[in-house]
Amino acid sequence: MIARLWQRFTANVDGPLFGVVALVVTLGLFTLYSAVNENPARLTAQLTNIAVALAAMWLVAQVPPQTLMRLAVPAYLVGLALLVAVALYGDVVNGARRWLHVGVTRFQPSEMMKIAVPLMLAWYFHKNEATLRVRDYAIAAVLLVLPTALIARQPDLGTAVLVLAAGFYVIFLAGLSWRILAGLAVAGLASMPLAWSFLHDYQRQRILTLLDPSSDPLGAGYHTIQSTIAVGSGGLAGKGWLNGTQTHLEFIPERHTDFIFAVFSEEFGLAGNAVLLALYVALIGRGLVIAARAPTLFARLTAGAISLIFFTYAFVNMGMVSGMLPVVGVPLPFVSYGGTALVTLFLGIGILMGISRHRKLVQT
């Protein structure tokens, strides 16, 4: 009886995907415990976040792709409306207008766009599957640029990058011609000076400090310098769990959130980094397999884009911590402390699971 209930309960949970995520989450909890200086309260809070995120994942995993598709347009439109609302009425925290008051709590509408934008684009391509023209890609681009621009204006470069990447993956997977892609790449490079003029001073500073962190060792360069030292001093095997000096003497800022990878890398070294990278490769690979097997264009595009979002998170975060990319607010997926990011990420996992489980039902 219990066994049958358990079977019903886990029917829609993709075993391999869940296994990999569980490993990453476990590594994350150990790292977090070290990052918060063995403060159990933070660990408990993160466990609560994980529980909430798992529940969200399980719920979404029950949703078949066609239902998800029906939700795509409303979710996108609501998200867009909320972004406009933020721009008009949002709360300013730390100089950025990102938050919207909803009753007692505040939330960031930009966060939901990380999922809503790829869903919307996947829906659009699915609807026009029969007659895809260059025009459709252009429309998709507009659908993508609109929310991205609103988020970038807040300003929230990290989220904007993630949303833009998510949408771009859909367009890419939908088959945008390589020639246009190459043209876009050239145009992108060419327009960099223009883009530079649109950046906020602090964003420019971050890029400049990336090129030469020592130019501002106590200001914008401090994060990068200290996290790079943490990574480099970790060596091959790391300093050992709970033994990172950069971590425990508080040299790494944001060490339980965006810079938690510095903690991991310092304590577990190159070996740990290789394991973590392998786990991410497994996670993304499993997602791509699900995408490959998905029954509809919508499901394929959604699954592929979500898998690649995980990649974006991981790559941008690790690149930033190891001093290769500018500092942007992107957490290390399934590791960084924080409920919002976890819920978003597990929602993505839930969607992948839903697509994976419901493929046969539709494939008839």
* Exposure string for 157-182, b = 16+ CB within 10 A, e = fewer: bbbbbbbbbbbbbbbbbbebeeeeee
Residue 284 sits in the site that holds another protein (CB under 8 A):
yes
CB of 348 to another protein, least distance (A): 16
Establish if 281 lies at the interface with another protein (CB under 8 A): yes
# residues contacting another protein (CB under 8 A): 58
How far apart are CB 332 and another protein at their closest, in Å? 12
Select from 40, 183, 217, 232 the one that contacts another protein (CB under 8 A).
232
What is the contact mask toward another protein in residues 7 to 36, using x (rule: CB under 8 A)?
---------x--------------------
Q: Which tokens hold the place of 27?
A: 């590594």
Non-local (6+) Cβ contacts of 313 within 8 A are: 162, 330, 331, 332, 333, 345
Report the residue from 291, 327, 330, 352 that binds another protein according to the rule CB under 8 A: 291
**What minimum distance in Å lies between the beta carbon of 176 and another protein?**
7
Which residues on adjacent β-strands are paired with residue 106? Answer: 101
Q: Please report whether residue 230 would count as binding another protein according to CB under 8 A.
A: yes
Q: Is 334 in the site for another protein (CB under 8 A)?
A: no
Q: Which of residues 164-203 bind another protein (CB under 8 A)?
A: 169, 172-173, 175-177, 179-180
Supply the minimum distance, in Å, between the C-beta of residue 261 and another protein. Answer: 10
Residue 235 as a binder of another protein (CB under 8 A): the answer is: yes
Longest dimension (CA), the chain: 66
Q: 260 or 318, CB closer to another protein? A: 318
Q: Report the C-alpha gap between 161 and 142 in whole angstroms.
A: 16
| Region label for 175, one of left (φ > 0), alpha (ψ between -120 and 50) or beta (otherwise) | left
Site for another protein in 108-127 (CB under 8 A): none
In the complex, least distance from residue 191 CB atom to another protein, rounded to whole angstroms? 22
The region of 52-60, 201-209, 293-301, 341-349 touching another protein under the rule CB under 8 A is 293-301
Pick from 124, 264, 311, 337: which binds another protein (CB under 8 A)? 311
Q: Which is nearer to another protein, 98 or 359 (CB)?
A: 359
Instruction: Please pick, from the candidates 51, 77, 134, 149, the single residue that binds another protein as defined by CB under 8 A.
Output: 134
Minimum distance, C-beta of residue 339 to another protein, in the bound complex (Å): 26
Among 108, 154, 265, 356, binds another protein (CB under 8 A): 265
Indicate whether 142 belongs to the interface with another protein (CB under 8 A).
no
Site residues (vs another protein, CB under 8 A): 16, 129-130, 132-134, 137, 169, 172-173, 175-177, 179-180, 226, 228-236, 245-246, 249-251, 265, 269-270, 273-274, 277, 280-282, 284-286, 288-289, 291-293, 297, 300, 304, 308, 311, 315, 318-319, 322-324
